[in-house]
Amino acid sequence: MANVDLATVGYALVGGALPTFIWLWFWLKNDSSGKPEPPGLIALCFVSGVAAVLLILPLQPLVEAVHLSKDITTIVYAIAEEVVKFGLVSFVVFNSRYMDEPIDYVTYLVTGALGFAALENTLYLIDPIQSQSIASVLVTGNIRFLGATVLHSLMAATIGVTLGLAFYRGAFAKSVATVVGLLLASGLHVLFNFFIMDMSTNNIVTTLGVLWVFGVFILLLVQKVKHLQPPQSYDQQPYTPL
* Predicted pLDDT of residue 128: 77
Listed by start position, the domains of the chain span 6-226
At residue 32, the pLDDT reads 63
Q: DSSP of 118-134, one letter per residue?
A: HHHHHHHHHHHHHTT-H
Quick one: pLDDT at residue 138?
55
228 in helix, strand or coil?
coil
Residue 98's pLDDT is what? 87
Decide if 189 contacts 154 (C-beta within 8 A). no
pLDDT of amino acid 51: 96
pLDDT given for residue 33 in this prediction: 60
Torsions phi, psi of 5, nearest 5?
-85, 165
Question: How far, in Å, CA of 4 to CA of 13, rounded?
Answer: 13
What sign has the CA pseudo-torsion 32, 33, 38, 43?
negative
pLDDT tens digits for range 126-160? 777 777 666 555 555 556 666 778 889 999 999 99
Given a cut of 50, the residues of the chain with pLDDT beneath it are none
